[in-house]
Amino acid sequence: MEPSSSSSGSVNGSSLMVMTESHSQSIVVQKDKAVTSMSRAYLENKAVSDAKSLIAELCRQFYAMGWVSGTGGSVTVKVHDDSVPRLDQLIVMSPSGFQKERMVPEDMYVLSPDGFILSSPASKPYPYKPPKCTDCALLFMKVYGMCNAGAVIHSHGMESCLVTMINPFLKEFRITHMEMIKGIQGHSYSDELVVPIIENTSHEGELTEPIAEAIRAYPKATAVLVRNHGVYIWGDSWISAKTQAECYHYLFDAAIKLHQLGLDCSAPCHGPIGKVNGFWGSGGNFSRSFRTAAFGLDYMMEPSQHCILLDNEGTATPTSFITDVLFPYALDNVGKHLAATYGSKETQEDINLLRSQIQDDFEQGVSGAVPIPPDYVGKELVIASLVANVESMMRSDRKVIALKQLQGHIWRTGFQSNELVGVVFDDVPEALERCMYILVAAGNHNNSFLPNLTMVT
């Protein structure tokens, strides 16, 4: 039959065209020399229209869940027909660049089992764009072909994106001992759920081969995460795909929240990060071998605490806070601090350091240096002498360790009692967050310090 019009194209990368005869009752799918005829009536039967309606409904639901906002994400289902093997069933896909919450059944594409567009939606007037099948079509076809799936969901849900960003080195998401793992095909509560993570690309279609590789490497997987992007999830049916998608998003969200609490979702006891496996989501061979190779065994054994050391004065904190708040506080409280902590090991070390400094100052004729009496004259006289020396040092703005150490201890007491409250410039919190990612990228794996930042001057 000679077709009189051409209405759509292929999505599987060949030069095939799908040609339709507008007045005929059949559609011809031409692939090189192979020709498949299909009844137009079959393309318009109830099963197909039900599948189109289903996708429109699912897109509205997924939009409400934040999975397909901004026209992102996509959904595809196979047209269910008991008389047709799944691999031979027709495929319905959502269009590209369309607001998912406003889609209607007539907006859907129908594809042949091997990925040729059999039916396209009609064009709509401006400001609608010309109809285009989803950019995920190649990926969907790959999943259909490799996994014998009945439906595939591509979500841009925030949790599916963020969970890949916490550690940019991880190639797997791992979680265990969560009830919702039971919702993932082939898994029980205590199983370790492993989802491969692939890197994002500029164009969605370029993800096709990386997804295929991930499916080959993880035959048990029913999802693949795309870093900084989202997730592809499939199931035997649309119900299975949807149910698993809900469970995956729940588990991604749980993992993010556990991480914020400093807990490790990949360990059965969900203990503190760094105490169980030492690396967020570190149950996998990849992360262990990576750490061993990149940082050595010693580093791997003790990753628990990291800090960011800042030059506060004028950098993170206004200079006026130092001169107008911290220094007067130390000056006013040196006697009180020494009296309250006189017997402590720390203060005795401070006093010994001061004695040594003052002795040097005295010998060198530094102005204001006053000899410290021996301990047996009594604590009050010793403290009075120390205070006089400290006041003299501070007025001279001395930069000696003995003074700095004592000041630090006085300020720490002030911060702990909330008599002192730290001040930072407005852009410091955001800069610290960026530091966290730099540290992670540089190999400082444990970023659990972020919720526990403490300002130390």
Catalytic position from the list 179, 206, 380, 433: 179
Whole-number Cα distances in Å, 271 to 262, 264, 268, 276, 281? 8, 6, 8, 6, 12
Work out whether the CA dihedral 98, 100, 102, 108 comes out positive or negative.
Answer: positive
Chain centroid to CA 181: 19
Asked if 232 and 242 count as a contact pair (C-beta separation under 8 A), the reply is no
Say which amino acid occupies 151: A
Any catalytic annotation for residue 179? yes
- Cα–Cα distance measured from residue 10 to residue 17, given in angstroms and rounded to the nearest whole number: 6
Query: Cβ contacts of residue 314 below 8 Å, gap of 6+?
Result: none
Question: Would you tell me how many other CB atoms lie within 10 Å of the CB of residue 327?
Answer: 15
Backbone phi, psi, residue 236, to 5°: -65, -30
Of 136, 139, 156, nearest to 249 by C-alpha is 156
- Greatest extent of the chain over all pairs of C-alpha atoms, in Å: 116
Query: Cβ contacts of residue 233 below 8 Å, gap of 6+?
Result: 152, 153, 154, 155, 222, 223, 241, 244, 245, 248
Asked if 350 and 413 count as a contact pair (C-beta separation under 8 A), the reply is no
Percent helix, percent strand, percent coil in the chain, to nearest 5: 45, 15, 40
Work out whether the CA dihedral 423, 429, 430, 431 comes out positive or negative.
Answer: positive
Of 161, 8, 143, 160, nearest to 76 by C-alpha is 143
Residues assigned a catalytic role: 179
